[in-house]
A and B are shown apart, each in its own frame.
Chain A
Amino acid sequence: MKVKMWGVRGSIASPGPKTVRYGGNTTCIEVRSDDDSLIILDAGTGIFPLAQTLLARLPVTANIFITHTHWDHIQGLPFFVPLYIPGNKVRIHGAYDIVSMQGIQQVMDVQMQYSYFPIREAELKAGIEYETLTVGQPVSIGDATVTPVLMNHPVTDLGYRVESNGKAMFFTGDHEPWLNIYKPEDSEYADYQGMMDLRQAELQAAIGKVDLLVCDSAYTMAEYPPKIGWGHGTFDHAFAMAQQVGAKRLVCTHHEPTRSDDDLEKVFAEALSRHPGLPFEVMLAREGLEIEL
């Protein structure tokens, strides 16, 4: 299985001289299983350069898995060129939205309205299918299986475990560790804590053993307090999660859009210096990073 990062920036695309080394595109990860099945995790702006590479070999069969429908994870979808070419097959997977009571097909409906995009969904020429996923229920893609796991974010967010011939990776999408909404002196505190601990244990069990963990690490510890509840974690949270699930390798992603390459390396080094001897390999996500499992 091969994993390639096409977009590693959080929230909004941030091109420019200061982000040239790590890249300014928003979230998109290409996963190729051993039989070369194409799995794309998220459709941020990084899916556009990925799409260019696919055009050399038509027809394309692409399986897109959307972690959640915030803009930075779907914005590249209407620019996924294979959608416009007859003969291609694109299957888009994602979560059920409990508030709008709609499945993942709304990810296109919403973006391709007349005032916002010049092409109507009906004009897309590829064979497009939508699959609204059930948490915990694996989907087979060639010789790989993709299992959706419920994460913690201000909208339903699915992390994905991708497994192929004994190798496995997990991508969190956007995720923040659970936080007790009560104060220790509140009578509900202990109950809520118990439920959070249970969730954490469920999450660890669902992620399982992985060779690679790609984890939301948007903030530093110092930046985090005013951003509690925004749905993102810190480098330290990512280290802890990798340790809990016994990951062999950790890639930290969803970089803060205002962070320059130099600053990114600086804050990463600072976080690492506080955690000497981590029992796994750890690195920053950057556009073009390829990892073979």
Chain B
Amino acid sequence: MSQLTPELERKLMTAVERMPAFPKSVQSILEMTRNINCLPKDLVGVIEKDPVMTMKILRVINSAYYGLPSKIASVGQSVVYLGINTIKNLALSFAAVGILPRFSTTGFDIQRYLLHSLTVAAVARILCEKYARAELDPTDCYIAGLLHDFGKVVFAQFMSVEFMKALASAADFEKPLYLAEQEHIGADHAYVGALLAKRWQFADSLVECIRDHHKEDVEPTAMGDCLRMADIICRKHAFGDAGNPWREEELTRIPARFGDDFEAIVAKVGSLEKIVEDAQSFAQIGTERAA
């Protein structure tokens, strides 16, 4: 794919600096931090459900000053390094930036995007526990799931006209959303998400996982496999599609490590209901399903 122009790249970088967080997390964080006895683990639980907060926290903590021996990949790990008080105050400063509008002007539903990200994240974590525990930390898969579509939020907020055209052609089943984005924007959300993750010094494995999550012929990795499989399960069950409608042919693209019995894989993941309930209450979204 063609490279982004320097101007577009700059625009995207500043875009994300100004990105506001999600209503539910801002509300919860304000409530929790008024209580001096708030449990650190509850605060972590809220922060790690908000992709904007998570992304911003991991970005600052991975900044050069702390010279950390390895890349910090989760909110919990950030707490181990900088302490809960610092993470709490960081979250508060991000909360102060504002709240994402429930519906952005593009017709891209931000709450459904969040529902999709949260369910994919949770399912990817479980898949990793069941199928790839020896290869990587399930938390890394959770973060990959939470952030894999982050590029879409950036498009929705800051390149809304082009993104609306891409969404329209994906909704007509003309083509998958990422191809429509390439056509109308000049880059897809995977490319943009990876660009940001790389610029913010996230671990290479996460950057590559985000970048490749729609690519057809890439070397399979444990993180990439769990993310793809989680995305297939969630979109097939219509737990939010983040603007990319499900196509039956996607069932032929199940990564080899899971075997080819789709129902068996879903059964192994266990109850999806709890995951979806959790995500719905956080995304502040009713029980209605996507068309």
Q: With an 8 A cutoff between CB atoms, is A196 at the interface? A: yes
Given contacts A181-B40, A188-B41, A196-B80, contact A134 B93 (CB under 8 A): no
Residues of A within 8 A of B39 (CB): 181
Q: What are the residues of chain B within 8 A of A196 when measuring CB–CB?
A: 80
Chain A to chain B contacts (Cβ below 8 Å), 29 pairs:
A96-B63, A96-B65, A96-B66, A98-B65, A98-B82, A98-B86, A99-B86, A99-B89, A99-B90, A99-B93, A134-B67, A135-B67, A150-B81, A152-B83, A153-B83, A154-B83, A155-B83, A155-B86, A156-B86, A181-B76, A181-B84, A182-B41, A186-B41, A192-B80, A195-B77, A196-B80, A199-B80, A199-B81, A229-B84
Hey, which chain B residues are within 8 Å of A96, CB to CB? 63, 65-66
Question: A149-161 CB contact bits vs B (8 Å, 1 = yes)?
Answer: 0101111100000
Cβ of B61 within 8 Å of any chain A Cβ, yes or no, is yes
Measured between beta carbons, the chain A residues less than 8 angstroms from B67 are: 134-137
- Type the 1/0 row for A95-122, where 1 means its CB is closer than 8 Å to any CB of B: 1101101000000000000000000000
* A134 in contact with B86 (CB, 8 Å): no
Q: Quick check: B86 and A154 within 8 Å, CB to CB?
A: yes
B64, CB-defined interface residue at 8 Å: yes
**B residues in contact with A136, CB < 8 Å:** 67
Cα distance A152–B101 in the bound complex, in angstroms: 37
Contact B64 A181 (CB under 8 A): no
Q: Could you give, for residues 172-183 of chain A, a 1 whenever the CB lies within 8 Å of some chain B CB and a 0 otherwise?
A: 000000100110
Known contacts A137-B67, A154-B84, A156-B82; can you find 5 more A-B pairs with CB under 8 A?
A98-B65, A98-B82, A135-B66, A178-B80, A181-B39
Contact A134-B65, Cβ < 8 Å, known A154-B83, A155-B86, A191-B137: yes
Measured as residues with beta carbon below 8 angstroms from the partner, the interface class of chain B is 20 to 34
Query: Does A129 make an interface contact (CB < 8 A)?
Result: no
A202 in the interface (beta carbon within 8 A) = yes
Q: How far is the CB of A66 from chain B (nearest CB, A)?
A: 14
User: CB-defined interface of A255-285 with B at 8 Å, one 1/0 digit per residue?
Assistant: 0000000000000000000000000000000
Asked if A11 is an interface residue, CB under 8 A from chain B, the answer is no
Annotate A122-158 by CB proximity to B: 1 below 8 A, 0 otherwise.
Answer: 0000000000111111000000000000101111100
Q: For the complex, what is the distance from the CA of A229 to the CA of B43, rounded to whole Å? A: 15
- B76 contacts A134, C-beta separation under 8 Å: no
- Of all chain B residues, the one with the shortest Cβ separation from A101 is B60
CB atoms of B41 and A98 under 8 A apart: no
Given A152-B83, A154-B85, A199-B81, decide whether A192 and B64 contact each other with a Cβ distance below 8 A: no
A181/B44 contact (C-beta < 8 A), A150-B81, A196-B80 known: yes
